[in-house]
Chain A
Amino acid sequence: MDLRNYSNKLLIKLYFDMLRIHKVQLHIESLYHLDEMKTPIHLSIGQEAIAVGVCANLYPKDYISSSHRGHGHYLAKGGDLKMLIAELYCRETGCSKGRGGSMHLVDTSVGHMGSSSIVGGGVPIGTGLGLSIQMKAEDRISVVFFGDGAVDEGVLYESINFAILKKLPVIFVYENNQFAVCSHVTARQAGEVIFHKTPEDLMPSHVVNGNSVMEVYETTQQAVIRARKKLGPSFIECKTYRVREHAGAGSDEKLGYRTAEEIREWESKCPVRAFSEILLRDGVLNETEIQVMEETIDCEIDEAFRFAQRSPLPKPEDVTKYLFCD
């Protein structure tokens, strides 16, 4: 891949955003055992390239819909970090005011319209956002993130059929991290996802290395052009791997459903480190600049955690608030 086609500014942004998502999640993980973040976390460590490579093609007005494993999508789309951490700490200042938790993030100011923890549940909602764009003749697009678990679900096929039928400005981003809890994708699916066989004119379908931010970025760019030209949906499968446990902090090699060697192998393909090596090699960044980035991010993370820990908890008397919108 020839990075010379891209500005240093873009390359540095891609790296910074991935590093930030990576470090935020490591920090969450390191404090999780204190049990102050009383919410089930689903880390996307090792999948940073997909969220960042896709969202770098989007404007704040573009929509995304996300899943239970959504910290990366939220941050890549520009969601507020303090409000994310406050949500994990169940605070009134959280992005969902302490009503949603880790699996239900939202930041409408940057087009993040909410994430569902029902596998595949966000798919039709992101598709429907695409329908609203088309009906209102708006200049924006909708991106739907989902995993291999959602490919097991009927609602995905129903939604994509509708998106093709109506030529909706929707991009379906399939993060194939190979596992639904402990079940491997090959134990659940009879073969490759069928959308790779969809005729090109109905819906182009792509397979990319999900651990390569540039591959994800370049492929998404084509899909974005198609959606903005109102030509219809696209489908992108990003092949990756869930290096952490399904939910919670740390590795789960002790469970025995996969080998430690397999986990190590994928950890060695860390998309953040892989990209840093390319940027160092090509002289886009040097070690000192990376060090400065790390420190900047660490400061921001510390500040966000302090903000969350000092924020008020929701009041018990407000338990019925937000049942209905006036």
Chain B
Amino acid sequence: MPWTKIKAEVNEPDYFLESDENVRRLSYSEAIHEALDQALQLDRRVFIMGQGVDDPSAMFGTTLNLHKKYGSHRVFDTPLAENALTGITTGAAIGGMRPVYFHNRPDFLFLAMDQLVNHASKWYYMFGGAVNVPLVVWACIGRGWGSAAQHSQALQGLFMHIPGLKLIMPSTCYDAKGLMLAAIADNNPVLIMEHRFNFRHKGYVPKAPYRVSIGKGIIRKQGKDISFIAISHMVTEAYKAAEELSREGIEAEVIDLRTLRPLDEEIILRSVSKTGLLLIADCGWKTGGITAEISALVAEKGFEFLKAPIRRVACPDVPTPSGYTLEDAFYIGCDDIINAAREILRIR
């Protein structure tokens, strides 16, 4: 299986950064590793746990050898018991620690739903602000290579539904580091949903610790003709689609939401008010998911800007199939975005 040691082979777009041979590029994995290393260095309250964080594959390399540097009391393997361990991190956070709890796949978060949703996400509100839970939970969507229905789920739609839980989905190496540090510094439970296709990236990452604001999206490509709202790996696909369309003279604006809760409503509405056309791309399911939520937001607050119906590009509402021919049919990407964009432009 090629996924345990993903090679960073793709330079991610530098977006608005001047392309310069001298900028420091890290792989996506190295960027997260550096964030964790710096957090452990800077704050004695931070600890990292999860099944396999100290093994050789080290959560896609993100936790590699940190147990050797900081000791196995601060970076440690755990029983699989996802629900109890989530509650234990919640208790540790209430007791003044800053846990970062790693899961290989979001699919296993279902085993932790009671503690994550009923407990960690409720504790601050339910006790009128008496107790807060500074907890980071991390999981990586396992698309591809026959991972099938229980090792590939993109569950952000479910978690976006939960008040009291912040939800982050980075798309660049820069954000993977800055959002991890922001999540650790945050006083609330934060779920970071990664995508393993992002681990192919190398990108610009400053060395010094920095935080990217939780709740702020970013424009990855300016455009006037149509808005592409995307998250995580779909930002890369939307950007490729926008580049392709720009060769035809169509200028798509690409917005990377970076955070789903809190949601940057303003960046969405501002873009739609400019372009009048909206395409939303998500690597999760369509029904009741991210694309549905953003469509509803724009229908409620930006209906007058729309010149054509909203288009959603998301995975079909079936469990993920295993075989590669069906995987190809299931997953969506750049071409689907281009086709959907062309349809909207034609309708208009």
Flag if A136 contacts B97 (CB, 8 Å). yes
- Bound Cα distance from A131 to B92, whole angstroms: 6
B94–A159 touching, CB < 8 Å = no
B96 and A162 form a contact (CB under 8 A): no
Most A CB contacts (10 A, CB to CB) among B131, B132, B262 go to B131
- Check if B232 is an interface residue, CB within 8 A of chain A: no
Residues of B contacting A94 in the complex (Cβ-Cβ under 8 angstroms): 128
B153 within 8 A of A: no
Cα distance, A113 to B90, chains bound together (Å) = 11
Nearest residue (CB) in A for B49 is A131
Cβ B118 vs Cβ A325 within 8 A: no
Interface members, chain B 63-88 (any A CB < 8 Å): 73-74, 78-79, 81, 83-88
B84 touches A65 (CB 8 A): no
Q: Complex Cα distance A210/B113, Å?
A: 33
In the complex, A42 has a CB within 8 A of chain B: no
- List of B residues within 8 angstroms of A132 by Cβ: 91-97
Residue picked from B85, B89, B95, B131, most chain A C-beta under 10 Å: B95
**Chain A: interface size category:** 35 or more
Interface size on B, residues (CB 8 A): 41
Knowing A106-B131, A135-B47, A322-B129 touch, does A124 contact B83 (C-beta < 8 A)?
Answer: yes
Q: Which of the segments B14-22, B119-127, B237-245 contacts the partner chain?
A: B119-127
Report B-chain residues with C-beta under 8 Å of the C-beta of A124.
83-88, 90-91, 115
26 A-B pairs with C-beta separation under 8 A = A94-B128, A95-B127, A95-B128, A100-B127, A107-B130, A113-B131, A114-B123, A114-B131, A116-B119, A118-B118, A124-B87, A124-B88, A124-B115, A125-B90, A125-B119, A128-B92, A128-B94, A132-B95, A154-B83, A155-B87, A158-B83, A161-B79, A323-B125, A324-B187, A324-B188, A324-B262
Q: Which 9 pairs between the two chains have the least Cβ-Cβ distance?
A: A128-B91, A124-B87, A132-B95, A97-B128, A158-B84, A158-B81, A128-B88, A325-B132, A125-B91
18 further A-B contacts with Cβ under 8 Å, apart from A63-B95, A162-B85, A323-B163, are A99-B125, A114-B131, A124-B85, A124-B86, A124-B87, A128-B88, A132-B96, A154-B83, A155-B83, A155-B114, A161-B79, A161-B81, A165-B79, A323-B125, A324-B164, A325-B124, A325-B132, A325-B188
Query: A-contacting residues of B (Cβ < 8 Å)?
Result: 47, 73-74, 78-79, 81, 83-97, 114-115, 118-119, 123-132, 163-164, 166, 187-188, 262
